[in-house]
Structure 1
Amino acid sequence: MALALASAAGVRKSDTNPCPFDEQMLEYYRDLLAQFDVPYEEGRLRDGPNVSYTELADALLAAPGFEVGAPDLVLLTYAVPDLHPLRVVSAYVNDKLGGGAHSMALSEQGLRSPYTALEVAGAFHRSGRCDSALLLVLEQTSLPYHDPLVHGTPLAETAAALVFRSGPGPVAGPTWTGTPDELTALLDAADPGTVVVAGPWVATGRTSRVVRCDRGTYCTSVWLTLAEKQDLWRDNRSGILLCDVDPRTGRAHAVRLDPARTASEARP
């Protein structure tokens, strides 16, 4: 039996924290950015929300009604660097949940990271090493430099957590990557019963059964919507298509969640 979506939680943080860095850490940032000729802007840290991925992960794990248990696999994904560059948040979460999981982070892929994480979870499951997986998708905006996407959109502090287990529920198919035009054609031709969860940069002429993600999200877009609107996938019998276009790469990404078939439904 494939891994199916069993539980989810979403978090939006609007509060702010004081800048947590001492002079030694600020010097680290100055030296790091100088190597890449990126202007250092300390004021963005001083005035930013300063919400770390550790804080977002803690908020997700404490979300009311979120059932995570002790997963076999913890996958942390993000597109914007953490506020604290030296913390290993996937290992931190693993430790909080008992320390018995494989844990890793996937980054440097833009908003594709969570889609890749689904492929990784599926591979672990097929190898017999995973009957439950926790996927964390995190986004924060306090950076010591100007980022056009982060500050121009602007993005907000958001996070989503999804638990996949062997059992009933929506099962993710293979992930899809293409051009924005190819995605538009894919959506317009999709079965009318399919629920489309479309990220902020998706263009489509489809008018029914489309759920638009809020602007102000990037990597978290469709996953936060899925976590906050659980009626979209609980008892869904027609399938859900999650999709977005990465404004940084111009690539479109999608994955379909279909109801797991019972043994009788699987017979020819």
Structure 2
Amino acid sequence: MAGSTLAVRHGAAVLAPPRTMRPEFSLMADYDRDLLASFGQSPDPEAAGDRPVVTHVDLVRQLLDGDPLGPVEPDLVMVSYALPDVHPFTTTSTQLNQAFGNRSASFAIAEQGLAAPFSALRIAAAYCRLGYCDQAVLAVLEQTTLPNHDPLVHGADLVDSGALLLLQSGSEGPGLDVHDVWVQCGPDDCARRLADVTASARSGTSLLVEGPRGGHDIQADGMEVHRHAERTYCTSVWMELAQNPQWAEQYATVVLHDTDPRSGTCSAAILRTAARPEPSA
């Protein structure tokens, strides 16, 4: 399969799932205090107190409920996130891998803010292009229980959320091929690149999907714009992609774009209508 293209096929999303009490997590108090102290911070008693939580593993279980991806045997399983898990010693990518038979290469991508899932998509596309991957599963996770006050999390009143995507090579069905993925430190540079994309896209068949805080200066002439309105951070455009499979039939180009409020870094993924097999004579 060397040289093949990866396409987004199916997905699932979850927003504000039920939380449960986890008294055992109170044992993390000393760890959290020491960790925050190394950065000159102190735990927020109100934020760190015993209260219901949802973990990354909880989000994965919610996303897998109902078997939304169907019978798949991925070669690659990835978890990406911008906010840490409430329990930092759980390897969620391994848990997700186990759900698909425990035969995949699996790892997590983090410490990049909302750029993490964009990096995951680029990595999966590279695996496929080099012939190492025919199917990949990507989970984008966001739990918002933190031991300290975080201006982004608490100022925007973020909610727990997640998205799950199946990425496949070949032409099994409707999908969106991964055409290009980038991360730009300068919003102006990103805007210029997106302007080139919109200029080359066919009018009336292109969609720009924006996160809740990005894209105010992006010129999307000739493109429809769809903005994610929920109180999320890194999961925003991925939830929209997972919940709108009809976009693969409606648009020739779908652009995912978001700007990280912490750094101003812009991330974009350009998706094109996946190649379809020619009808038999």
Looking at structure 2, the residues matched to 132 and 22 of structure 1 have their Cα atoms a distance apart, in angstroms, of: 35
State the Cα deviation string for residues 208-227 of structure 1 (Å, max 9, x = none). Answer: 51110124111101000111
1:181 is aligned, of 169, 180, 188, to 188
Q: How does 1:1-268 map to 2 (within 5 A)?
A: 1-46=4-49, 49-63=52-66, 65-67=68-70, 69-168=72-171, 169-178=175-184, 179-187=186-194, 190=198, 191=201, 192=203, 193-200=205-212, 201-203=214-216, 204-206=218-220, 209-233=224-248, 235-262=249-276
The superposition leaves residues 154-188 of structure 1 with CA deviations (integer Å, 9 ceiling, x where unpaired) of 21111001101122321112212332234444545
| Aligned residue identity for 1:88 | T
Alpha-carbon distance in structure 2 between the residues aligned to 1:81 and 1:22: 14
Distance 1:45 1:63, change over 3 A: farther
Instruction: Give the letter aligned to residue 158 of structure 1.
Output: S
Please list the CA deviations of residues 95-127 of structure 1 after superposition, one character each: whole Å capped at 9, or x if unmatched.
121100000000000111111111111222223
46 and 230 in structure 1: CA distance in 2 versus 1, 3 angstrom threshold: farther
- Kindly tell me: are residues 213 and 70 of structure 1, through their superposed partners in 2, closer, same or farther at Cα, counting changes over 3 Å? same
- C-alpha change, 1:53 and 1:9, in structure 2 (3 Å) is same
Which runs of no fewer than 5 residues in structure 2 stay unpaired?
none
**Residues 1:66 and 1:244: Cα distance change in structure 2 (over 3 Å):** same
What SS is found at the alignment partner of 1:82? Answer: coil
- The 3 A distance-change label for structure 1 pair 231 and 49 is farther
Identity of aligned residues (%): 37
Report SS of the residue matched to 2:102: coil
Task: Name the stretch that deviates more: 154-163 or 116-125.
Answer: 116-125
Residues 7 and 67 of structure 1 are in contact (CA less than 8 Å); yes or no, is this contact kept in structure 2?
Answer: no
Q: What's the CA shift for 1:63?
A: 4.1
**TM-score, length of structure 1 as denominator length:** 0.90
How far the C-alpha of 1:250 sits from its partner, in A, is: 0.7
4+ residue runs over 6 A deviation = none
Q: What is the deviation of 1:29?
A: 1.4
The one-letter code of the counterpart of 1:140 is Q
Q: TM-score, normalised by structure 2?
A: 0.86
Q: Tell me how far 1:53 sits from its aligned partner.
A: 0.3
1:75 Cα deviation after fit: 0.6
1:120 partner amino acid: I
Q: Does the 8 Å contact 2:25/2:87 carry over to 1?
A: no
Q: Deviations over 1:81-100 (max 9, x none)?
A: 00111000001111121100
**CA displacement at 1:37 relative to structure 2:** 1.6
Cα contact 1:68–1:163 (8 A) shared by 2: no
The verdict on how the C-alpha distance between 1:129 and 1:202 changes in structure 2, with shifts beyond 3 A counting, is same
